[in-house]
């Protein structure tokens, strides 16, 4: 689905309403269309997020994911992957909304593609590795491996 089709359709509808009045009404309609053009994509993604969460809760053995690439928004079914031996991911019921810079999002998508997993799985694995490493580094000492103070040569 192209997000621009939704936005362009809404903009055209508002412009058509503006044509029913004088120049002031047309100007106001154009301003309203500008505001909607910026906010509607977020609303649509929020609505799709709610819909995919509802659908996913009803699906045994998988979930529906929203995948956004540029102007394209796709809903994709992803089968659950068995957890690697020794890992306990809990119930995976917590959800967060994450906003990323476009460059970071691209790197995450590339990393997921290279590993042959979904973006969600890739992010979960990366977070798990990072938090496990941090826990190992903090061990029993308060300072971890951080050096403090100034050296003198």
Say how many domains are in the chain: 2
pTM of the predicted protein model = 0.47
Same-domain pairing of 13 and 74: yes
**Region 88-93 average pLDDT:** 64
In a domain, 31, yes or no: yes
Closest CA to 123 of 87, 96, 93: 96
Asked whether residue 54 falls in the same domain as residue 109, the answer is no
Average pLDDT across the chain, whole number: 80
Place of tokens 């909304």: 97
Q: Could you tell me if residue 150 is inside a domain?
A: no
- State pLDDT tens for residues 30-86: 999 999 888 888 888 888 888 888 888 887 778 888 888 888 888 888 887 765 544
Please tell me the least confidently modeled range out of 19-23, 87-91, 136-140, 143-147. Answer: 143-147
Domain span at 11 = 1-79
Over the stretch 117-131, which tens digit does the pLDDT of each residue have?
Answer: 888 888 888 888 887
For the chain, list the strands marked E by DSSP. 62-69, 72-79
107 with 53, same domain: the answer is no
Whether 16 is covered by a domain: the verdict is yes
CA 27 – CA 34 distance, rounded (Å): 11
Is position 111 within any domain? yes
């Amino acid at each position: 689905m192209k997000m621009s089709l939704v936005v362009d359709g809404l903009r055209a509808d508002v412009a058509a309403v503006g044509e029913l009045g004088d120049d002031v009404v047309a100007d106001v309609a154009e301003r309203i269309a500008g505001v909607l053009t910026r906010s509607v994509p977020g609303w649509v993604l929020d609505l799709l997020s709610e819909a995919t969460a509802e659908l996913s809760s009803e699906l045994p053995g998988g979930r529906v994911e929203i995948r956004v690439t540029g102007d394209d928004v796709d809903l994709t079914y992803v089968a659950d992957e068995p957890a690697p031996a020794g890992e306990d991911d809990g119930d995976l019921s917590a959800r967060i909304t994450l906003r990323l810079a476009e460059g970071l999002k691209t790197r995450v998508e590339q990393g997921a593609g290279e590993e042959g997993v979904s973006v969600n799985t890739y992010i979960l694995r990366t977070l798990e590795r990072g938090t496990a490493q941090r826990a190992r580094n903090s061990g029993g000492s308060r300072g971890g491996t951080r050096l403090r103070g100034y050296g003198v040569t």
